[in-house]
Structure 1
Amino acid sequence: IGNSLKFFLSRDEGGNLYRQKSKALAITLLICLFVSLINPYGLELMLYPIKLISQKSIIDHIGEFQSPNFHHLLLVPYKYVLLLMIVLIGILKKHLEVTEILLTIVFANMALFSQRFIPLFCIVVAPIFVRNAQWILNQGRRRFVDLFQRKSSDLCLMDASASGYLWLVLGILIVALAVATNRIEHKFDESRKPVEAVHFLKKALLKGNMFNDDEFGDYIIYSAYPQYKVFIDSRIDTYGVDHFKDYLTMVYFKPGWEKVIEKYKINWMILNSDSILSRYLMERKDWRLIYSDRVANIFMRNISDK
C-alpha cells in the first residue's frame, strides 16, 4: 500500500520504481495466498482466523486477545517503545517515508487492540528506528554523539578481534557450565500448576469423564495423557463455542450447571482450590473431596447420593 501511494503521489521518474515494487509485492502476495491453500483443510483454514475473531464469547476470555494492561511489568518495555515511536514520528515527520508511517500506525493499532501483536509491532518499528538513528544523532549535541560513536567503534574493534568461532564457542561453554552446575533446570511452577494433584491422579486411576480448570488442562495433557482426557485446555478456540459456553456455565456457577454435568456424564473434577465451584462442591453431599492442596482440589461424584 505504501509503495502504491508513493507511485500515485510521485511526480518524478522515481514513481516507476515504486510501481515495480508494488507489482512485485502484489505478485508475491498472490503466490503466497495460493500456496497457503495447499493444506488438509483448504480455504477453511484460511478463513479460520476471521471466524475466530468474530466469536466474541471466546475472544473475550482469551488473554492474548485482550488489550495490553500496562500495570503488568512485562508490558512496560512495550509501553516505552510505543511512546518512543510517538515522539519519533513528531521529530521525524519530514524524514519518515509513507510506508514507515503506515506500518507504525497499523501495527500500533493491532498491538493496542490485542497484546498478541506486540512482538510484531516491535519487529516492524525496530528497523524504522535504526534507519533514522543516524539523523537523530546528527541533530544531537556533539559531545554526546562523539561519545556514542567512540563507544560504537570500540565495540566494533572488539568484535573484529574475536577471530573464528570465539563467540559461538564461548556461548556454548557458558551454557554447558550452567547445565553442569545445575543453574538451568526444567520444571513446572508447583505454585501454579497441579503437579502434586496429577501425581495423585496417576496413582488413583480415577474412572469416568473429568471436568477441569482450563489452565490445568495443558499440564494434565503433558503429564497424564492418554491415561486421562481433559474437558478443556488453554486452546479454547479448538473446542468450539458451544463447548466453551458449557465450560463457562460450570466455572462461573451459572444456572444450568448441573445439566452440563449430566450432558457430559462428568464423574470427577479437578479445580482451582480457590474457585467458586470448588468452594461450593465442598458443601454438597453428592460430591466428595478426595484430594486437596494449595493449588488444586479433586472431587469425586457420589452417584449413590443422587
Structure 2
Amino acid sequence: MIIFSLINPHGIGGVLYPFQIFKNYGYLIVENQGVIFLQNLGFDKTLPLSHFKLVVAVLVISYILSFIFERQRFSLFYFLLVSITGFMAFFAIRHFPIFAFFALPVLAKNFNYNFFSRKITKEEMTYIFFLAGFFLFWMVFNLSLNFYQKKSLFGLGLLPGVNQSAYFLKQNKIEGPIFNNYDIGGYLIFHFFPKEKVFVDNRPEAYRVDFFEKIYKKSQSDLKSWEKLLQKYQFNIVFFSHRDYTSWGQNFLVNMIASKDFVPVFVDDYNIIFLRQNKKNDSLIKKNIKFLKKGLNW
C-alpha cells in the first residue's frame, strides 16, 4: 500500500499532503474550524452544529443506558471509535460525515441492546410508541417547515439564478482586470478562464501566508492599502460574493458602496458587481444604475 501511494506526480510530498490541511494558510477555512468557534461567530443557523450536538447527546444517553442494563455487552472498540471521530468532528467540522458514518450504527446497536434484548411489557411498549410517534411528528413537522423555507435548494442542478452574475459580464462584454474575494474565485475561473485572471480563489494552499495577511485582508480593511493595490493592478471590475461574513469583507463592501471610483451595476442573491467609473463603462453604468436604484429602493 505504501509503495502504491508513492506512485503519484509529487512522490512523498503527495503522500504527506493530506496531513497539511490544518497548517496556517493566513486565512481561516470554515471546515477546519471547531463547533464552539463557529457557534460563537453565529454559524449555528447555516451549519448543522445543533444536529451534531443532538447526536452526541443521544449517544451519551445510549451509553448510560447500556452501562446500566447491558454492561457485559459494552464494546470498548465501538466506544473509542465514536469518541475519536466525535472529537475530530468537534474540533473540525470537516469530520462531521465520518462521525455520522460511525455514530449512527453504534446508536442503533446500543438501543437494540437496551430495549430489545429482553421482553418488553405492554406499559413499556405504550411509552415507546408514544415517544416514537412524538418524534416522528416532530421530524415531519420540522422537515416540512424546512422544505417550505428552502424548497429552492432541493432538486437536481444548480441553484436558481446562480449564473446570472457571470452572464451579466459576458452579455455586456465587460473585461477585467478583476478584483474578487476568496469565496467566488472558483466560480470566476469556471466561467472566464483563461480569458480573465482572478485575484484570488478558494485554494488557500496555492497562496503564500503573506499574500492573505498583507495584501488580501489589508486591502479590504484599509483604504490606503486598497488605493495602492488599485493603482498597481488597475482593476476594472470588483466581483464580490456579498455572503462574505468576514470583518474585512463587510468593511470592504461598505467602502465600495461609498466609493467614487466604483459603481454597483449588478446585484443578486449571491454576488454584487462594481464597475470602475470611466468613459469605457459610462454608458453601462448609466443603464444599470437606474435599475439598481429602483430595485434596491435607494
TM exceeds 0.5? yes
Q: For each residue in 1:247-290, what CA deviation from the matched residue of structure 2 results, as whole angstroms up to 9, or x when unmatched?
A: 222333376333344555544321246943233234444x2326
SS in 2 for 1:57: coil
Q: Return the structure number with greater relative CO, CA threshold 8 A, min gap 6.
A: 2
Q: Is this contact kept in 1: 2:66–2:113, CA < 8 A? A: no
Give the letter aligned to residue 239 of structure 1: Y
Partner residue of 1:127? 105
Give the letter aligned to residue 38 of structure 1: I
SS in 1 for 2:44: coil
Partner residue of 2:33? 66
Q: 1:90 to 1:290 in 2, by over 3 A?
A: closer
Question: 1:143 aligned to 2:122?
Answer: yes
Question: 1:81 aligned to 2:55?
Answer: yes
Q: For each residue in 1:140-194, what CA deviation from the matched residue of structure 2 results, as whole angstroms up to 9, or x when unmatched?
A: 84337878999xxxxxxxxxxxxxxxxxxxxxxxxxxxxxxxx95533344xx5x
SS in 2 for 1:71: helix
Partner residue of 2:21? 52
Partner residue of 2:132? none
Paired with 2:61 and 2:221, the residues of 1 have a C-alpha distance of 44
Paired with 2:251 and 2:17, the residues of 1 have a C-alpha distance of 33
Partner residue of 2:158? 187
Q: For each residue in 1:44-89, what CA deviation from the matched residue of structure 2 results, as whole angstroms up to 9, or x when unmatched?
A: 123323333121633xx21111223383373333222111111222
SS in 2 for 1:108: helix
Q: 1:198 to 1:210 in 2, by over 3 A?
A: same
Report the alpha carbon displacement of residue 136 of structure 1 after superposing the two structures with TM. Answer: 1.1
Q: 1:279 to 1:89 in 2, by over 3 A?
A: same
Structure 1 residue runs of 5 or longer lacking an equivalent are: 1-30, 151-182
Is the deviation greater in 89-98 or in 265-274? 265-274
Is the deviation greater in 128-137 or in 66-75? 66-75
Partner residue of 2:6? 37
Residue-pair matches, total: 235
Question: 1:113 aligned to 2:91?
Answer: yes
Q: 1:34 to 1:280 in 2, by over 3 A?
A: same
Structure 2 residue runs of 5 or longer lacking an equivalent are: 130-153, 244-249, 281-298
Question: 1:248 aligned to 2:224?
Answer: no
Q: Is this contact kept in 1: 2:242–2:272, CA < 8 A? A: yes
TM-score by length of 2: 0.65
Q: Is this contact kept in 2: 1:210–1:231, CA < 8 A? A: yes
SS in 2 for 1:53: coil
Give the one of 195, 204, 209 matched to 1:236.
Answer: 204
Please give the root-mean-square deviation of Cα atoms over the aligned residues, in Å.
3.5
Partner residue of 2:145? none
Q: For each residue in 1:204-254, what CA deviation from the matched residue of structure 2 results, as whole angstroms up to 9, or x when unmatched?
A: 333442111222223323333333332223333333423333222233337
Report the alpha carbon displacement of residue 132 of structure 1 after superposing the two structures with TM. Answer: 3.3
Q: Is this contact kept in 2: 1:103–1:124, CA < 8 A? A: yes
Partner residue of 1:300? 276
Q: Is this contact kept in 2: 1:249–1:255, CA < 8 A? A: no
Paired with 2:123 and 2:32, the residues of 1 have a C-alpha distance of 41
Partner residue of 2:194? 226
Q: 1:48 to 1:184 in 2, by over 3 A?
A: closer
Q: Percent identity?
A: 23
Larger Rg: 1
Q: 1:140 to 1:205 in 2, by over 3 A?
A: farther
Q: Is this contact kept in 2: 1:212–1:232, CA < 8 A? A: yes
Give the letter aligned to residue 291 of structure 1: V
SS in 1 for 2:26: helix
Is the deviation greater in 96-105 or in 111-120? 96-105
